[in-house]
Every structure is written in C-alpha cells, then in structure tokens.
Amino acid sequence: MKLGAYGIRLTVCLIIVLGFSAQGPLAQEVNGSPDNNAIRPFQVHYSDAELADLHKRILATRWPDKETVADHTQGVPLATMQKLADYWAKDYDWRKFEDKLNAIPMFVTNIDGEDIQFIHVRSKHKDAMPILLMHGWPGSIVEMLKVIDPLTNPTAYGGKESDAFDVVIPSMPGYGFSGKPTKTGWGPDRIARAYGDLMNRLGYKRYVAQGGDWGALIADIMAVQQPKGLIGVHTNMPGAVPPEIEKAIQAGKGCPPGLAADEKHACEQLDFFYKQIGYAEIMGTRPQTLTGLADSPIGLAAFMLDHDAKSLELIAKAFDGQPGGLSRDDVLDNITLYWLTNTPISSARLYWENKYPFFSVKGVKLPVAVSAFPDELYQAPKSWAEQAYPNLIYYNKLDKGGHFAAWEQPDLFVKELRKAIKPLR
C-alpha cells in the first residue's frame, strides 16, 4: 500500500495519539494485513494541550447552590466537590500516574471486533496461578493496581512462593483504554466470552476469575459459560440474593419476616441501596442523555462519586484530610482516566445493554469463593452464598472494607485471594 506525505503524517500522528507501540495495528496495516489476534504493547500519553484543557474546564466550573441538608441525602455536598476541584486544579499530577501506568506491562488485542486493553504481569515464581481481575463502574484498572505486586511477588509481602499469581486486568469495552463499541450487543455475556478468549489467547490452560461490581456479574456469567480453562471464581459482590427477597424489596414491601440476623442486615442494606440507585436507572434507560458528563469534568466527578453511600462517605473524608483507604490521588487518578479517555457515555451504555438483575442467582456450578465485606452494597450471609453457589469452596465475613475492596483494602483483599484460591491450586 502506497502512502502520500499526508497519509504518512496522519498515520504517525494516529499512532502517537492512540499510544500504540511500533508493533501496533496501524503499523501492521501499513506493512500489510493486520493480525487481529496479535497482542500488542500499549503505552499511555496525553498531550499537554489535553491536560491544559482539563485544567481550564475545572477552573471555569459553574457551581450550583449549596444543598439544603447537613448530610449526603441530596447527593455529593458542594463543599466536597469544591475541595476536589481545588486539589485537581492546583496539586494533582496526571503525569505521575501516567508514568506509573507505563511502568506496568500493558497490552491490547482485538477480540470479537473490539480492542481490549489489559495489564498482564507474570510472576517470577513457578506454578503461579493465573487470575483474571475484573473491575466495574465507576471503576477501572486503577482499582486493581495496588494488588498487582503483592499477588505476583508474594514473598515480598509476607506470603509464600505457592501464593503467587499471574495477573491479567482488562479494561472493559467502553471503559478506559479499551475500544468503544459503536454497535449494540456488548453486554455482560459478550464481555464474559471475550475475557475467556483473552485468557486462552494468553496461553493459560487453567485460571481463576475474580470480580467486584460489573466484574462480579461477569465472573458469575463466565462460570455459567464455563470457557476453556476456567476452574473457579472469587467474588466480593456475589449474585446470591434469594428471589423472594429481591422481589419483596423491588416491590417496595421491605424485608420479609423470619430472617436470621445476618440475613435481615443484608436485606436492609439492599433495601437502602435500591432507593439510592438513580444513577443506574438513568444509565440503564437514557445513557446518551448524560452528555454533560463528557463536557464538564466536575459534573463527571460528582456523578462518579455518588455510587453508594459508604463509598461517598469514604471519599468525602479523603478530601477533608482524613484518608481511610482511598487518597485524593486515588480518586482523581480514576476520574481523570475517565475524562481523558472520554468514556462517560460509552461506559454508561453497559447499564443499557445489561439484562440481568445485579444480585440475582445465576446458576453457577463451578467452584466459587466469596469474601463478604461489611460496607459492600450488601454483606452476603453465608446461608445465601451456600444456596446460590452449590460448590462454595470458601466464605469469609470480614469486618472492614467496602465496594471497591481491592482499591480500599488491598492487604485484606490479597490475603483473601490467597486463602480463597488455595483449594484450586
């Protein structure tokens, strides 16, 4: 294929903007037909102009009136957002995070017509267990960065060589650095199949999958699909709510009588959450209407912070100078990634594509391990986990940690995985 001067300049510019290495798809297309199965190195770099535009937009924010309550019942407080904006504009350093990302082995490959970007870190230890770590919304690969080294290099973190994992962390289609689907059909089932293909493409004959939020739903679906090589899953947001409980809550009837104490607590958590789920309802019905999230970084940040009450409380404390698992940089690394990749709408469409109840039983028969964190959307009782997962190999009820377990409590999360997956090694 012959390229004129303009074509050569355009191709080079596209390679730089997209962050692909010289082995990327555009370079292959110049030399002949691209290999869609190729696994290509991936790097991240955004221009000074893009960062300057972000800074300008933060400073130009048009603020709403202050809320009329003294708590979070009307959403993210104005004071929290103004503290976030002040730090984002004056002190936050994206380049520091960009360098951190680029120090980690990252790749991209095309699966089912869509580019899937992923982190892939192999352990130096023999017989490491491959594990697929799956994020959700409003998360990203950022959620999992703190656990990579303890999982792959356990002897440096109080573990044994036999605790080692090879770690694979993909960005979901429409999220982060993965491709943005331009046609319908990329729901949890298709993502689950793509992830199975990814692990096979990486050459893994046996592996486990782990997830929270969307990742938990996809882990359950993968376990139902049983792709080649998947031997079990670990979840910190299990699909284990009995149908009668879910129906009662969604019908506005509250929790039925006769529940054990831990079941009643879980039911009350769910009842509270379902009354605060407006963000999911609008993404599930009218994602394109959220255009403002692609135009205002502060609007995007406020929407992302209001996922659940406990997470909002934790994040608000961080911007009040009381970090308790998440720092200001942790929060802004994730929000800035969404902004720079312009994925507020493409990520929201997954809610529109999804046809599954979030917490329903899916019919998983493979071995399952459950870690029940107290500040998760609900802390699954063991009785529910046993009913939902007939091959439950591990259950632990923790006394610390919330929805973004790997991000908030990486040490606990790593210990849980070591214990939970041990029976499958």
Q: Please identify every residue annotated as catalytic.
A: 213, 351, 403
Cis peptide before 257 (omega within 30 of 0): no
- Give, for 262, the enclosing helix (H) or strand (E): helix 261-274
3 state SS of 133: strand
Burial of 203 (0-12, 13-18, 19+ CB in 10 A): exposed
Residue 96's contacts (CB-CB under 8 Å, 6 or more residues apart) are none
Is the separation of the CB atoms in 173 and 181 below 8 Å? yes
- Give, for 218, the enclosing helix (H) or strand (E): helix 214-225
Neighbours of 250 (CB within 10 A): 12
End-to-end CA distance of the chain: 50
Neighbours of 79 (CB within 10 A): 13
Residue among 104, 178, 94, 100 at smallest CA distance from 134? 178
Is the separation of the CB atoms in 213 and 237 below 8 Å? yes
Long-range contacts of 149-153 (CB under 8 A, 24+ apart): 150/410, 150/411, 150/414, 151/123, 151/414, 151/417, 152/121, 152/122, 152/123, 152/124, 152/128, 153/123, 153/124
Strand 368-372 versus strand 106-111 pairing type: unpaired
